Amino acid sequence: MSYAGKNLKYIRKQREWTQEEMANQLQIKRSLVGAYEEERAEPRLEVMESICALFSINLEQFLFQDLSLTGSLNGDGEGNSGNSYLERRRSLKSDKTTSLAPIVPFVPVKAAAGYLAGYADPEFLDELNTFTLPMLAPGDYRAFEIIGDSMLPTPSGSVIVGEKVASFKEVKNSNTYIVVSNSDGVVYKRIITNDDRSKEGNGDRLTLLSDNPLYEPYQVNATDIVEIWKAVYIIHKAGAQPMWNVDQLAGVVNNLQDQITSLKKKLN
């Protein structure tokens, strides 16, 4: 029994290559890769030799051993049966992604409630789905799904990719952040710094401002905040950008007028 088709599919997925990418590596048509994996055709000898050279395995292993069980794919053709397939895949994925782009854990809305308790728990974070963005510079990133219209024109359902803010003093006035606090959980807001932050954690307060002026700004104590992530990218579905209607615009104008009036009274 030949394991050529099964092994080709296995080692391709170990590298997280598409059939097109594998075909390019072997300099053959993509349709041939599909035919080999589905066992509708047997690879030619020169193709099998190219596969073996590419993955550092020998022809006997490729043809007659189930590589998904023996684990003979560690770069030198030696067996690695002590590790499970999942462990080997995680190791390969980690080696690949760390050299290309940071891994970004994704916190969906349904996980936001548990995030406050699990944000520093490796087991909780390990259960989150992850992705990579090639444009990200090295750093510590996390992505959060936001729901609601408080940050319009950023639409509900958008994913905010944030970079970890190591110190409260690094917060820049009027920039947007994901703020994780004991009182509010996970929120996406624009931060207005109120005072001298030289005494971090000693009574400092931040104003959290929504881009939608229908929502009133509010203040939080720095000591209540457990994490801050600076927004670096916003991801949302094509066509999801909301449109303001006349009633909404009228409400925005009225709200701004009220805020201006209130500020004038405070100044006077």
CATH number of residue 193's parent domain:
2.10.109.10
Residue 112 and residue 94 share a domain:
no
- What per-residue confidence (pLDDT) applies to 248? 60
- What per-residue confidence (pLDDT) applies to 4? 92
Residue 170 lies in a domain: yes
Contact criterion met (CB below 8 Å) for 191 and 179: yes
Residue 13 and residue 56 share a domain:
yes
Residue 192 lies in a domain: yes
**Exposed/middle/buried for residue 191 (C-beta within 10 Å: 0-12, 13-18, 19+):** buried
Whole-model pTM over 0.75: no
User: Using CA atoms, how far apart are residues 103 and 130, in angstroms rounded to an integer?
Assistant: 6
Residue 246 lies in a domain: no
25: domain CATH number is: 1.10.260.40
User: Using CA atoms, how far apart are residues 145 and 247, in angstroms rounded to an integer?
Assistant: 27
Tokens of 125: 């974070």
Distances (CA, A) of 177 to 9, 59, 234: 42, 54, 11
The list of the chain residues with pLDDT below 70 reads 70-100, 194-203, 240-253, 268
Q: Which among 103, 92, 164 is positioned nearest to 136, based on CA atoms?
A: 103
Residue 154 lies in a domain: yes
Residue 171 and residue 87 share a domain:
no
Identify the domain containing residue 46 by its residue range. 4-98
**Exposed/middle/buried for residue 143 (C-beta within 10 Å: 0-12, 13-18, 19+):** buried
Neighbours of 190 (CB within 10 A): 17
Q: Which among 244, 191, 190, 248 is positioned nearest to 214, based on CA atoms?
A: 248
- What per-residue confidence (pLDDT) applies to 250? 66
Residue 261 lies in a domain: no
Residue 194 and residue 163 share a domain:
yes
Residue 129 and residue 176 share a domain:
yes
pLDDT in tens, 172-231: 999 999 999 999 999 999 999 865 444 444 447 889 999 998 899 999 988 899 999 999
Contact criterion met (CB below 8 Å) for 80 and 74: yes
Contact criterion met (CB below 8 Å) for 242 and 148: no
Overall domain count for the chain: 2
- What per-residue confidence (pLDDT) applies to 252? 62
Residue 166 lies in a domain: yes
Residue 163 lies in a domain: yes
Residue 91 and residue 8 share a domain:
yes
Contact criterion met (CB below 8 Å) for 68 and 5: no
Residue 113 and residue 158 share a domain:
yes
Residue 144 lies in a domain: yes
- What per-residue confidence (pLDDT) applies to 94? 56
Helix, strand, coil fractions of the chain, as percent rounded to 5: 40, 20, 40
Contact criterion met (CB below 8 Å) for 2 and 63: yes
